[in-house]
Amino acid sequence: MNKFASALAALGLGMALSASVQAAANHDAIAERIKPVGSVCLEGDDSCGGAAAAAAPAGGAAARSGEEVYNTKCAACHGTGAAGAPKFGTSDWAERETKGMDTLLANAINGIAAMPPRGLCMDCSDEEIDAAVKYMVEGSK
């Protein structure tokens, strides 16, 4: 027993100390049991222990090909022409191609007409969007 605990025991406060220590332990146990299962970690927030970086592809991770991005993200609209989207494999892309790839990429990233930004592919990098646009242009020649 340390000097402080001995002094409290001599004053008859040993039980009070023990009860408060027990209450603190119970509080910690309750807090542990009711804590949230998960948390939100925004990109660039280093206080998350690297969770945001783990969610994003690592710098060395291979980017998806233009064909893969098109097939999984773009084909729903560009395969059918929904909402006026230029259809893959058609001359719809000929006029658009004359605007230049930089303009096509900017439109794909920022959105244009009925197309929302990134075509709603929020997990696509700029490079993947660029590859998908190039795939659609090349596939329409």
Query: pLDDT tens digit string along 40-87?
Result: 777 777 776 654 444 445 455 678 999 999 999 999 999 999 999 999
Ordered DSSP codes for 71-132: IIIIHHHHTTTGGGPPPTTSTHHHHHHHT-HHHHHHHHHH-BTTBPGGGG-TT--HHHHHHH
Average pLDDT over residues 16-39: 74
Look at residue 44 in the predicted model and tell me its pLDDT. Answer: 73
Look at residue 43 in the predicted model and tell me its pLDDT. Answer: 75
- Which domains does the chain carry? 1-35 (no CATH), 66-138 (1.10.760.10)
Task: Please check the confidence at residue 94 and state whether its pLDDT lies above 90.
Answer: no
Q: Under a CB-based contact definition with an 8 Å cutoff, are residues 101 and 58 in contact?
A: no
Task: Please check the confidence at residue 26 and state whether its pLDDT lies above 70.
Answer: yes
- The 8-class DSSP code of residue 140 comes to T
For 50, the token pair is 């690297």
Task: Please check the confidence at residue 110 and state whether its pLDDT lies above 70.
Answer: yes
